[in-house]
Structure 1
Amino acid sequence: MTPPPVAPGTPPVLQLVGISKYFPGVIANEDVSLDVRSGEILALLGENGAGKSTLMNVVTGIYQADAGEMILDGYGARFSSPQEAIRARIGMVHQHFKLVPAFTVAENIHLGWADTPRNASPAILEARTRELSERFGFPVNPAARVEDLSAGEQQRVEILRVLARKARLLILDEPTAVLTPAEARDLFRALRAFRAEGNAVIIISHKLDEVMEISDRVTILRGGQKIGTWDTADCSPRMLAATMVGREIVRQNLLLRADGAAPRGTEAELSLRGVSVRDERGVETLADITLDIFGGEILGVAGVAGNGQRELTEVLTGLTIPTRGQVLLGGRSAEPGAAAFARHGVGHIPQDRLHSALAPSLGISDNMALREYGMPPIGGNGLYHADAALSLAREIADIAEVTIPDFAMPVRNLSGGNQQRLVARREIRIASRVLVAAYPSRGLDIGAIATMHRYFAELRDRGVGIVIVSEDLEELLNLSDRIGVLCHGRLMAVLDSAEADIERIGLLMGGRTDLPETGAETKI
């Protein structure tokens, strides 16, 4: 679907001229100028911390620019709040959703909306939501509670809430980070239809193949400054990656072990024996899982989102006690609880880093000490040594290559990618036996992904067992020694990665067991 023609002389939907935004000790944006035109999708790229989200927060009134001018449809504009931006028909869907989990889809859609009828019954709100869903092509269940929805379904609600308010400029921050490939295709289909009506879209993304597929032009930021804007047709993923980070990204074969690397263990570090889990409604989310994780190996876990990945990682890290079956650490029955697993050398990079791995309102130092606050030199005997916590936080930030101006500022003020880097390094510190990483590359730029993968390879070579859950099958094939596939909470098979391919894994993800004879399966 090609963009609609634009009449000569039509001003851009949005122009930014010389925008600058500073925080104490940090240049977030400096002299950034760009425009987005009617009927186009503009991709905004850059490394983590390059200033992409900050720039869009200026556009939507969350931040005020320290210098520069914003022009909307040819007229100067300045928003003192997101509500003013929404009234000007600019809507943003953030990387971390802003929904009320206990409310229904219909209630979230209508919350704070001037067009919401007074004293409307739930049935009326649901009917209005159903009509919006059909009009914009974002299928949702109006009566469902948000807390019961998958990440992809929640994103649809966020986008629908913005479109319902008649947005003509839609800003999406990492829109496919939590989507399955099928959900991403549905999203792109809806965005093309939105563009075809003469509207505009800005997408912040690190997925270069998707940028090449969906965008019309690309603007790249580096270090808070604009590097340039190009027609997507004139770009390639390699060129975009090199421009983003200022150097060529060299891809390494991470399946090759370093000289002197620890061999794969012969005794399992962490085992599940007939493990099943039921949720609070009595629905079985994991069914009879038997699995061994050995030191010195990377075990990948593939599956369509919502097929038991979260429950599996929570069982492996002590967050969930199985309804049935046994968890073994080092061959012995595991003491329940996440703290006990951490004491025994199990680290965890969870799926939702901001709310499951971090305390958003606490400072960075406190968050980096979360796993060690009860141990010397930070804690013990009822004491907490803030200077030791600060020293630890600085050490982690240096290793993670994250620049932090103030370690006392709330960790939620960091970009999502920098939060992920810090969580990863914090958990690697305690992972002497096993590291469980759920979607570790989400929200990271291509350079940071390469660094994260190197972390895993180094940890594997030290003899640690690593579990990586990912929807990116290429990532799993490039990293894993073995790949397990989940479908409806069942472990369909565990394949040697040398014998696996995307077709076989895809069939297992869909519940097929009649695989083509391209290689032998390993015993589970």
Structure 2
Amino acid sequence: MDYVIEMLGIRKEFPGIVANDNITLQLAQGEIHALLGENGAGKSTLMSMLFGMYQPDRGSIKLNGKEVKITNPNVATALGIGMVHQHFKLVHNFTTTENIILGIEPKKCGGLILDIEKAAKRVAQLSEKYGLNIDPYAKIEDISVGMQQRVEIMKMLYRNADILIFDEPTAVLTPQEIEDLMEIMRGLIKEGKSIIIITHKLKEIKAVADRCTVIRRGKYIGTVNVKETSEAEMAKMMVGRNVSFKVDKVDATPGETILKVENLSVLNNKKVLGLKNFSVEVRAGEIVGIAGVEGNGQTELVEAITGLRKSESGKIFIRKRDITHLPIHKRIESGIAHIPEDRQKRGLVLDYTVEENMILERFNKAPFAKNGLLNYDAISKYAQKIVDAFDVRAGQGCSTLARSLSGGNQQKAIIGREIELNPDLLIAVQPTRGLDVGSIEYIHKRLIDQRDKGKAVLLVSLELDEILNVSDRIVVINNGERIGTVDAQDTNENEIGLMMAGVKGDVKHA
């Protein structure tokens, strides 16, 4: 087999952690090769070395059989290696073309003027060739997340990359955008490119990859042929044990109403109604799932309940207490906890340590503070308890900066913090986004535990499997309106899918 890339015996150490320990990965010409591993297994670190962001402590990298030293991303680019990072590297008030040409701007008039027109023309040509549908003059802040990802792909193609690395490419995409991305990947392979995809979504590996290399806790476990290997076998290689894909739970026994939302209308970012006369109730001891395609009012609903956005009309009650106009800290005190959809913008202060992040909602309360002074001993013990319970992997323990955790470990830290608040109402938005199967199984169990302890859980997710598996009742939202309510055990993906598209729900379920 001809290998375009060989990473042989790679080792990389950071303070307190061996991220990669003697890992080998070989990418064949014209294949899609999946790199599979748990959160914090060392996948992104390994690929960051291929892209020149880190240097290996030991081992070698070969390109078409010849050893290369990739000292920085510019060297990687020159060698034809491109990378789409999990968190995109785009300037939001620049156009797509301006982002694509950053660092290699074409000039005219003797190098005095930027030749945007020439660049935009090439962007349009490449866009058509690879089926990316990019508008060369659209501003990044005005386009969807899926389209932003295509701009990142275009950045690589514009620089003539032949080896393309995708880091968790589907973590922020809707189901339709995931389908589109896979189509784009297949098209890239037809054009002679070779792709490495970092992921832990087994369904997607089965759909698109040829071979799969598995790493666990920084060590190489093996490389398998995807067609001949089941999802369960790959999951076992990744986690080191059998993983259950089904959520075990007894029937709910709902009690009193904890959350009541009555005829709520909320403006979206474009100052038009994103949520229209929406009503929902969540009772103690039940999980209510909100199903819908991204951008149909879920964000407006959650932010109105948590106090991040004001409502235009309607009311929100917690245990019959009207909280519609209460400030955020009063809502937290009334028993609301919130796992936000954007962990970096809304969930964490990235330049604070893990322990500081664990007390963000209660830093001014005993035992964490006395007479205006923080008690770091109590904070440390509390944070350590969460880190241990939720298997948050951090190189330097609780004193690690939040920004240096992998995305999945950031997510687990937030979930641990919110559940530890012991809330009456837990609002979980995309709680397993970016998590591996082992962590997903654990988080689902914790959500069901909350329910079984008599708590109310509002689950907002774009993953239909998750909504159907974890929820007791499902409320479907489309274009900011409530389409209908169904019992989770009486419905299926097809019915929910139709309702998400705006077909009104069957009254018998309501």
Select the residue among 450, 460, 481 that pairs with 2:472: 481
Pick the aligned partner of 1:342 from 329, 332, 351: 332
1:491 equivalenced with 2:479 (yes/no)? no
**Structure 1 partner of 2:291:** 302
Q: Helix, strand or coil for the counterpart of 1:54?
A: helix
Report how far residue 40 of structure 1 moved: 0.3
Query: In the aligned structure 2, how far is the partner of 1:431 from the partner of 1:311?
Result: 24
User: What TM-score do the two structures reach when normalised by structure 1?
Assistant: 0.92
The question of whether the paired residues in 2 share the 8 Å contact of 1:300 and 1:476 is answered with yes
Q: 1:217 to 1:375 in 2, by over 3 A?
A: same
1:5 corresponds to: none
Partner AA of 1:210 in structure 2: E
Deviation at 1:431, TM superposition (A): 4.3
Per the alignment, residue 521 of structure 1 pairs with 509
Residue 173 of structure 1: CA displacement? 1.2
The answer as to whether partners of 1:373 and 1:380 remain within 8 angstroms in 2 is no
Correspondence for 1:279: 268
1:44 counterpart = 2:44: no
The match for 2:375 is 385
Matched residue, 2:302: 313
1:130-175 deviations in whole A, cap 9, x for unaligned? 3332232112333333233332222122222222211111111111
Is the alpha carbon distance of 1:210 and 1:405 closer, same or farther for their aligned partners in structure 2, counting shifts above 3 Å? Answer: closer
Q: In the alignment, does 2:392 pair up with 1:402?
A: yes
Quick check: 2:353–2:400 contact (8 Å CA) kept in 1? Answer: yes
Conserved 8 A contact 2:267-2:300: no
Q: 2:248 aligns with which of 237, 249, 254?
A: 254
* Change in 2 beyond 3 A, CA 1:73/1:480: same
Deviation at 1:369, TM superposition (A): 1.8
Q: How far, CA to CA, are the matches of 1:380 and 1:293 in structure 2?
A: 36
CA shift for structure 1 position 397: 0.3
Say which SS state the counterpart of residue 187 (structure 2) adopts: helix
* Distance (Å, rounded) in 1 between the aligned partners of 2:314 and 2:117: 43
Instruction: Find the residue that maps to 1:30 and give its secondary structure.
Output: strand
Tell me whether 113-122 or 131-140 shows the greater mean CA deviation.
113-122
AA in 2 matched with 1:43: A
Instruction: Give, as a single letter, the amino acid of the residue that structure 2 aligns with 1:297.
Output: E
Q: 1:311 to 1:37 in 2, by over 3 A?
A: same
Matches within 5 A, 1:53-72: 53-72=44-63
Cα 1:422–1:153, aligned 2, differ >3 Å: closer, same or farther?
Answer: same
More deviation, 317-326/244-253: 244-253
Residue 463 (1) aligns with residue 423 (2): no
Deviates more, 1:42-51 or 1:331-340: 331-340
How far does residue 71 in structure 1 lie from its aligned partner after superposition?
Answer: 0.7
Tell me by how many angstroms 1:280 deviates: 4.5
Q: Aligned in 2, Cα 1:237/1:410: closer, same or farther, shift over 3 Å?
A: same
Question: Are residue 131 (structure 1) and residue 125 (structure 2) matched?
Answer: yes
Q: How does 1:40-439 map onto structure 2 within 5 Å?
A: 40-115=31-106, 119-120=113-114, 126-251=120-245, 253-256=247-250, 263-266=253-256, 268-334=257-323, 335-379=325-369, 381-406=371-396, 407-439=398-430
Equivalent position amino acid for 2:152 in 1: E
5+ residue gaps, structure 1, are: 1-7
* Residues 338 and 163 of structure 1, relative CA distance in 2, 3 Å threshold: farther
Answering whether residue 12 of structure 2 is matched by residue 18 of structure 1, we say no
Q: Report the CA distance between 1:252 and its aligned residue.
A: 5.0
CA RMSD of aligned residues (A): 1.9
SS of the equivalent of 2:114 reads coil
Q: Report the alpha carbon displacement of residue 126 of structure 1 after superposing the two structures with TM.
A: 4.4
The answer to whether the Cα contact below 8 Å between 2:174 and 2:294 also exists between their aligned partners in 1 is yes
CA distance in 2, matches of 1:338, 1:66: 47
Q: Compute the displacement of 1:220 (Å).
A: 0.3
Between the aligned partners of 2:75 and 2:393, the Cα distance in structure 1 is 32
Cα deviation, residue 74, structure 1: 1.7
Report the residue type matching 2:296 in the other structure: N
Q: Cα 1:154–1:116, aligned 2, differ >3 Å: closer, same or farther?
A: farther
Q: Which residue of 2 aligns with 1:3?
A: none
* In structure 1, C-alpha distance between the alignment counterparts of 2:371 and 2:266, rounded to whole Å: 37
Q: Is the 1:285–1:311 Cα contact (8 Å) retained in structure 2?
A: yes
Equivalent residue letter for 1:235 = T
Q: Which moved more, 1:128-137 or 1:434-443?
A: 128-137
1:321 and 1:336 in contact (8 A); partners too: no
1:397 partner amino acid: V
Question: Which SS does the other structure have where 2:483 is aligned?
Answer: strand
How far is the alpha carbon of 1:390 from its aligned partner?
1.9
Q: What amino acid maps onto 2:311 in structure 1?
A: P
Matched letter for residue 278 of structure 1: L
CA drift of 1:379 comes to 2.4
Q: Distance in 2 between matches of 1:417 and 1:29?
A: 17
CA distance in 2, matches of 1:462, 1:276: 32
- CA distance in 2 between counterparts of 1:285 and 1:398 reads 39
Would the aligned equivalents of 2:428 and 2:457 in 1 still touch at CA under 8 Å? yes
Amino acid at match of 1:146: I
Q: Is the 8 A contact 1:89 1:167 kept in 2?
A: yes
Deviations along 1:428-464, one digit per CA (max 9) or x if unpaired, are 1124211111111111111110000000010111111
Contact 2:247 2:441 in 1 (8 A): no
In 2: Cα distance, 1:224 partner to 1:490 partner: 46
CA distance in 2, matches of 1:384, 1:374: 8
Q: CA deviation at 1:422?
A: 0.8
1:13 alignment partner, SS class: strand
Question: In structure 2, how many angstroms separate the alpha carbons of the residues matched to 1:380 and 1:279?
Answer: 40
Could you tell me which residue of structure 2 aligns to residue 511 of structure 1?
502
SS at match of 2:264: strand
